[in-house]
Chain A
């Protein structure tokens, strides 16, 4: 059975049967709702976004950007291309750490992808690899915050909130912004000063019956009929109040949100439930796989949500923070996420959705080409890599981005961008651009001035547009 996506009108009519002609408010309310669909500023290439967030910082020297020099110097001290006075913990010896495994040309363009990502390698012709992405901070929290909100401290609206604000929700029965398995920092999906309707809704895929995919989603009584009776009684009182007040957007909102909430109770578990997907699809993602199951479910859910009209879906796939023993740990992280992420692209494509869905794969930063050894005594084989915001790799797909294209180059170390540098502000500007939004025009007045996702920065990366 396909997920029933009930139209806004039909559920309003259904809700209205309880207490009169609420549906009359349909059009009025739709226009007033912060989530009402808004036209993009200019013709858009993408209608929705899926952001696969590789929390922790995947190792681009191992996965996408190997360097001959580092390979030759493996285990030896290299001249650090940085100011050695900066505090460096465990990397002070600057020992080159060669790429593990083979990184080979893939697809028609010869895009360099590691053997550790065989599934990603197979979709090389669908993705655009950015090799010189640049962020401003080397701490997880600040860097993640910058990736999501544009700033390294403070609470500002996150990318998904800005997009929800700019375009509204395609499906009024669902939140416009969903974050699957988010990190604990709520600012990463918060709407800050934008209206709360634009904040991300945290969704977890329940691993037991006790867990609920959305906070307070489960009716603890477990008796839907009883709850409905209660809601009908409440709504009847609400209706009386609304009649008294005449026009009252807030009151209408309360009535409407109660119905949405009621429906979410039943529609969300249905939507989160992937048991109705075909076996082939489940296999494609790796559902049931030893390493892949959790991420496969999350990525498959992202596709379902996106298909159902959620404007911005984020999936957080963690486990990339390899400070030590990367030789042993990285292959595991790859195995857990490679298939699900690649499957998402294939699945979107086969459903004709890739064209207008923009997919982004990235960590908050990358990792150093030299090794890190926190113990100070391990052999080089047991070393890991430190955070590196100076340059790292990300890929994008669909949504009007050039497929099978590699953009950006780093120096001989794989440390600083040499060409095709893409700052996070540029990446944000480009994402908005693909959605038909001008990052300089998408503003919100707060504390006496206009705020933007890109503050006063950002340039659309024209080179990667199809």
Chain B
């Protein structure tokens, strides 16, 4: 039988119902009535009750079903309020449009228009237009009310006027001054209006807000002018400038030097002289490996410090595994690497270290930078040579999974969008030097990145499943699976075992809890709480606590069991991402049959975000305000050809290709600039993570482009680029002060000398271990976090569940391994790192702060670790004859011999040192470790 539902419904909903102003209210009332579980959405079952209200629909389930699916525009199996309200549009014969709730246009009578002209328009013009009109100098709150369209569409906070609805009309709310954050007109425009005027506005809205003002309200004005913004230097193609001619042709050693010298020539300043060999050696050793030169290297280089000897040293450093530990750590700053989720429920990420090791290995193997980026965005979608390669490419995508996340987020939709947002933010800043995430709620304020670009990228990441693990606990309902790496990949595994006894114990616990859960589940259901929709735990908070506990316990047991193979060895697991299936997924269960399924229903990822799909544009970033879908794509301002995204894939593969395309001017510039920053202490663009209009322009654009092209033409080899830079004359300059140059270029942006630098936290700590002889250069497997396994730092202790961890062991974590292998839980980073400005691991950070505070000095004066290294250092010197100790100590600590004055001072120190301290040598070593020179390179 063919049914014509639209026709039917229009009969049901009374005559030409859409024109009836009262209809809105009736519909509203209906929504509240139908929404029995008060989740602000109608399930199919709830919508079915509509039938009960309409004699004509009764017994016609197909019609109701058809209607439901027609209205359910985003196909999430539920009708949101807006979707539901489209009944009005359908019944009126209009096309249902979930994006724009139908605005009911009634023809206003002459009297109504007169009312507007007399009572409303003058007030708007006098009190509001100054800040809320198309031609306002600065439109406040993205809200214009000088046209009908503008006042109804509203601004950042929502619609200004909803005809007939006082509650939803924000203009009315602000006039009443009840909401502190939205009081209009503001004090400076005369403050709250008289009650009589507010009453007029209310009457006006009640009569349907008649408004004759035609005219288009343009979208919110951004502060950029599209054409001008597109001309911003960073979006222009990378160009090889002709190598400039310079006054002093003997100074430059390579082309790069000519660009530098040309910059200096233009300012009329000359570079200072070359660094002393010992200074240069110390500089290059720390820069490339993060460790001081060994005495052997010092002897060798001081004896033959020509450019060949230097090159030999550089090659040795680049080929040392210590190189990857140093440069990998730089990238880990950018990648916001950490080993816990941070934010509210700080769950450990015991498999994050695999990504750390992947990064270190990539730098050591000199993986071409374009491949490195490609793998981190889409490694799972790439071809692999063998199992090891497959595993590494999966681990690489950990970049997208290690971000901080709010595991206690109650709204699954919000959580899905927040996850994608974090990924967009990290990817765009790390690779492109753009703050794309600023365009989540509105067009980017300063850069030409429209909101549609953001949601084009969001579609890619929403089609991607993020696998980060974490064990469920009382507050974490958001744990995810992990990646099972190929068992024959040959990667190391944590030496953790699940003993047979432990397995039996956990299995027993699990069976017991599941049985108990099932019993409780059906007992509860039997009490009438189990409806066709499934047991809604929100109906009974006491029960909820119990079920949360049961669910957490089950999850805890399952996570533990799933972490070990049949032989009891810890499985090879990794964090990362994969594409969702192309076909529409069923989404979380709607009729749960167990405790676990109940929680999946509550907290599981919504079906709309569980398959390959474009993302709607969410108005003002509000998850409840989905608009039209935006085809997946990239940042439109970048003049790089966008590859087409296949409909059955997320688009990460294409995103990866687009990021590293030769025509993409940002990726190569941003990374070349990062390399420069890590070698010179400041970038050519000093805002290394922001190449947008709010960032700084390059101090030497031609040099930046030269380097960017060298990176590309050198096959994206990072080591080649680094080698080229350190072999330049510029890198080998002294750090000498020069008053004239200083005046011309105080920040040394043009590189007339080497800028003296304070070493990173890791370098300081590693150097102490290195000079004391205590450094263990072995590469440890895993990390202290992996050793702890799954768990949360802080939080509620719940009986029968694993106790929360204290942050203390992490804060005080120590080992003799290199610092890059110390644990990095968010909000619990070891003191040894934070005291010297470790990069806060919640955001992309390509440029660490350098602060000088007394707590650092106190650390150096009194910390146990420092004292221990001083003692080791002294013990190492002790076998030497007394008169050689100071010289040997200086060589180890500073790669140089003491000056005559220093030697004398040292002698005096030994002679005069208060007798109370039996170990003057340790004290001497502590003095060296605490010196400014020890933690600086110049």
Which residues from B are CB-within-8-Å of A226? 913-914, 916-917, 923
**Contacts A217-B858, A245-B735, A245-B737; A230 near B852 (Cβ below 8 A):** no
B737 interface neighbour in A246, A265, A448, Cβ under 8 Å: A246
Nearest to A175 among chain B residues (CB) is B854
The winner among A187, A218, A246, A425 for most chain B CB atoms within 10 A is A246
Does B463 interact with chain A (Cβ within 8 Å)? no
CA distance A231 to B689 in the complex (A): 39
Q: Is the CB of B180 within 8 A of A215?
A: no
Does A225 interact with chain B (Cβ within 8 Å)? yes
Does B53 interact with chain A (Cβ within 8 Å)? no
CA distance A376 to B794 in the complex (A): 26
Q: Give min CB distance, B761 to chain A, whole Å.
A: 12
Which residues from A are CB-within-8-Å of B544? 87, 89
A246 interface neighbour in B541, B739, B912, Cβ under 8 Å: B739
Q: Is the CB of A459 within 8 A of B855?
A: no
Which residues from B are CB-within-8-Å of A199? 853
Q: Mark A234-269, 1 if CB is under 8 A from B, else 0.
A: 101110111011111011011111101110110000
**Contacts A87-B544, A219-B861, A257-B857; A423 near B694 (Cβ below 8 A):** no
Q: Is the CB of A90 within 8 A of B541?
A: yes
Which residues from B are CB-within-8-Å of A154? 343, 842
B758 interface neighbour in A196, A250, A256, A262, Cβ under 8 Å: A250
A233 interface neighbour in B854, B905, B914, Cβ under 8 Å: B905
Does A201 interact with chain B (Cβ within 8 Å)? yes
Which residues from B are CB-within-8-Å of A459? 180-181, 183
Which residues from A are CB-within-8-Å of B756? 245, 248, 250-251
Which residues from B are CB-within-8-Å of A237? 902, 927, 931-933
CA distance A423 to B695 in the complex (A): 34
Interface size on A, residues (CB 8 A): 79
**Contacts A217-B858, A223-B916; A241 near B932 (Cβ below 8 A):** yes
**Contacts A192-B840, A223-B916, A244-B736; A233 near B909 (Cβ below 8 A):** yes
Does A17 interact with chain B (Cβ within 8 Å)? no
Which residues from A are CB-within-8-Å of B700? none
Does B16 interact with chain A (Cβ within 8 Å)? no
Q: Is the CB of A258 within 8 A of B446?
A: no
Nearest to B543 among chain A residues (CB) is A92
Nearest to B899 among chain A residues (CB) is A240
Q: Is the CB of A233 within 8 A of B927?
A: yes
| Segment with Cβ contacts to A, from B88-96, B226-234, B394-402, B843-851 | B843-851
Which residues from A are CB-within-8-Å of B932? 234, 237-238, 241-242, 251, 254-255
Which residues from A are CB-within-8-Å of B419? none
Q: Mark B907-938, 1 if CB is under 8 A from A, else 0.
A: 00100111011000001101110111101101
Q: Give min CB distance, A439 to chain B, whole Å.
A: 13
Which residues from B are CB-within-8-Å of A6? none
Contact residues, B668-716 vs A (CB, 8 A) = 687, 689-690, 692, 694-695
Which residues from B are CB-within-8-Å of A376? 542
Which residues from B are CB-within-8-Å of A240? 899, 901-902
CA distance A35 to B18 in the complex (A): 65
CA distance A227 to B917 in the complex (A): 10
Does B867 interact with chain A (Cβ within 8 Å)? yes
Q: Mark A135-156, 1 if CB is under 8 A from B, else 0.
A: 0000101100000000001110
Which residues from A are CB-within-8-Å of B856? 257, 261
Does B827 interact with chain A (Cβ within 8 Å)? yes
CA distance A139 to B935 in the complex (A): 42
CA distance A256 to B842 in the complex (A): 31
Q: Is the CB of B542 within 8 A of A196?
A: no
CA distance A265 to B738 in the complex (A): 38
**Contacts A226-B916, A448-B690; A234 near B931 (Cβ below 8 A):** yes
The winner among A186, A233, A257 for most chain B CB atoms within 10 A is A233
B852 interface neighbour in A139, A192, A229, A250, Cβ under 8 Å: A250
Q: Is the CB of B853 within 8 A of A447?
A: no
B849 interface neighbour in A195, A241, A262, Cβ under 8 Å: A195
Q: Is the CB of B852 within 8 A of A254?
A: yes
CA distance A373 to B703 in the complex (A): 69
Q: Give min CB distance, A150 to chain B, whole Å.
A: 13
Does B516 interact with chain A (Cβ within 8 Å)? no
Q: Is the CB of A215 within 8 A of B858?
A: yes
CA distance A215 to B865 in the complex (A): 13
Q: Is the CB of A230 within 8 A of B930?
A: yes
Q: Give min CB distance, A461 to chain B, whole Å.
A: 9
Which residues from A are CB-within-8-Å of B917? 221, 223, 226
CA distance A92 to B540 in the complex (A): 8
Does A457 interact with chain B (Cβ within 8 Å)? yes
Which residues from B are CB-within-8-Å of A465? none
Does B406 interact with chain A (Cβ within 8 Å)? yes
Q: Is the CB of B435 within 8 A of A448?
A: yes
Q: Is the CB of B852 within 8 A of A257?
A: yes
Contact residues, B887-909 vs A (CB, 8 A) = 899, 901-902, 905-906, 909
Q: Give min CB distance, A56 to chain B, whole Å.
A: 14
CA distance A328 to B143 in the complex (A): 54
Does A184 interact with chain B (Cβ within 8 Å)? yes
Q: Is the CB of A92 within 8 A of B541?
A: yes
Q: Give min CB distance, B850 to chain A, whole Å.
A: 6
Q: Mark B844-886, 1 if CB is under 8 A from A, else 0.
A: 0000011111111111111110010000000000000000000
Q: Is the CB of A89 within 8 A of B180?
A: no
Q: Is the CB of A223 within 8 A of B840?
A: no
CA distance A222 to B857 in the complex (A): 17
A87 interface neighbour in B435, B538, B916, Cβ under 8 Å: B538
Q: Is the CB of A184 within 8 A of B545?
A: no
Does A214 interact with chain B (Cβ within 8 Å)? yes
Nearest to B141 among chain A residues (CB) is A456
Which residues from B are CB-within-8-Å of A207? none
Q: Is the CB of B933 within 8 A of A241?
A: yes
Q: Mark A201-219, 1 if CB is under 8 A from B, else 0.
A: 1000000000000111111
Q: Is the CB of A85 within 8 A of B38?
A: yes
Nearest to B757 among chain A residues (CB) is A250
Q: Is the CB of A447 within 8 A of B807?
A: no
Which residues from A are CB-within-8-Å of B837? 196
Which residues from A are CB-within-8-Å of B851? 195-197
Which residues from A are CB-within-8-Å of B858? 214-217, 261, 264-265
Does A83 interact with chain B (Cβ within 8 Å)? yes
CA distance A77 to B189 in the complex (A): 47
Does A421 interact with chain B (Cβ within 8 Å)? yes
CA distance A92 to B938 in the complex (A): 66
Which residues from A are CB-within-8-Å of B66? none
Nearest to B933 among chain A residues (CB) is A241
Nearest to B806 among chain A residues (CB) is A184
**Contacts A234-B931, A246-B739, A426-B180; A449 near B694 (Cβ below 8 A):** yes
Q: Give min CB distance, A244 to chain B, whole Å.
A: 7
B936 interface neighbour in A139, A192, A251, A448, Cβ under 8 Å: A251
Q: Give min CB distance, A118 to chain B, whole Å.
A: 34
Q: Give min CB distance, B680 to chain A, whole Å.
A: 15
Q: Is the CB of B867 within 8 A of A258?
A: no
Does A14 interact with chain B (Cβ within 8 Å)? no
Does B786 interact with chain A (Cβ within 8 Å)? no
A216 interface neighbour in B445, B855, B916, Cβ under 8 Å: B855
Nearest to A187 among chain B residues (CB) is B827
CA distance A251 to B552 in the complex (A): 53
The winner among A184, A196, A242 for most chain B CB atoms within 10 A is A196
CA distance A456 to B129 in the complex (A): 21
The winner among A223, A226, A256 for most chain B CB atoms within 10 A is A226
30 contacts between A and B (CB under 8 A): A85-B37, A155-B840, A184-B794, A196-B851, A197-B853, A199-B853, A214-B855, A215-B831, A215-B859, A217-B858, A220-B864, A227-B861, A229-B914, A234-B928, A237-B927, A238-B933, A245-B938, A246-B738, A248-B756, A251-B936, A254-B852, A254-B932, A256-B852, A257-B856, A258-B861, A265-B861, A426-B180, A447-B429, A447-B689, A459-B181
7 tightest A-B CB contacts, nearest first: A246-B737, A253-B852, A261-B857, A196-B851, A260-B854, A216-B858, A254-B932
